Amino acid sequence: MPAKSQMDELELLQQALAGDLEAWGEMVTRYKRAVFGIALGILGNPADAEDATQDAFIRAYENLRRYDLRRRFSTWIFTIVSNICKNRLRQERFTSRLEDETQVPGGADPAMAAVEAERGRLIKEALSELDFKYRAPLVLRYYSELDYQEIAQILGLPEGTVKTHLHRGKAELKKILERKGVRGYE
């Protein structure tokens, strides 16, 4: 029998459904970075994103029997984390807190790294000002690199609406960034 890390997703999910926690752990390992990335992009704070990531995997495990094995697992888990983030934002249980990006990549010009870090901070700050309906599609498209169809499935929207929200979200983001003095963002 192959090692769990070499098994395909369907086998791992079937084993997890049969109660194999090691198989479920392998699924978590495969997707935790992507789920965290989506949560961070939507929530804007690493601690909140970590909480949302853990909540998403707990909720997924608790509802694993409801999961349709014919669907892509990534779409299902991304939908769960997106909904968790949406609910957190809706409940206003926290205010957006942004992480200071002060690390300089090895060998990079410190001045340029500082400029890029500030630009990244301003983009995150601007994203946090957008409504969820615009923020979530932007994060899923540009941070997680998902296609329109996947975003539509995750957010439960028609594909045309996703495209509209992306277009309007980018326009809104551009206005916010220009107001903050960030130029050249497209």
Helix (H) or strand (E) holding 146: none
3-class DSSP state of 137: helix
- How high is the pLDDT of residue 121? 76
Tell me the pLDDT of the chain (186 aa) as tens digits: 566 655 799 999 999 999 999 999 999 999 999 999 999 989 888 999 999 999 999 999 999 999 988 889 999 999 999 999 988 887 654 333 333 333 444 555 677 767 677 777 777 888 888 888 999 898 888 878 888 998 999 888 999 999 999 999 999 988 988 887 776 655
- How high is the pLDDT of residue 184? 62
- How high is the pLDDT of residue 108? 55
From-to residues of CATH 1.10.10.10 in the chain: 110-179
What distance in Å separates the CA atoms of residue 63 and residue 13, rounded to the nearest whole number?
A: 12
C-alpha distances out from residue 177 to 5, 120, 171, Å? 42, 11, 10
**110-179 belongs to CATH 1.10.10.10:** yes
Fold of 6-91: Rna Polymerase Sigma Factor; Chain: A (1.10.1740)
- How high is the pLDDT of residue 99? 37
- Contact call for residues 139 and 38 (beta carbons, < 8 A): yes
Global pTM reads: 0.64
- How high is the pLDDT of residue 2? 61
What tokens appear for 30 in the block?
């495969």
- How high is the pLDDT of residue 34? 94
From-to residues of CATH 1.10.1740.10 in the chain: 6-91
- How high is the pLDDT of residue 89? 82
What distance in Å separates the CA atoms of residue 161 and residue 157, rounded to the nearest whole number?
A: 6
DSSP assignment string, 84-112: HHHHHHHHT-S-----------TTS-HHH
What distance in Å separates the CA atoms of residue 101 and residue 120, rounded to the nearest whole number?
A: 8
DSSP alpha helix (H) spans, 44-180 = 46-62, 73-91, 110-129, 132-138, 148-155, 159-179
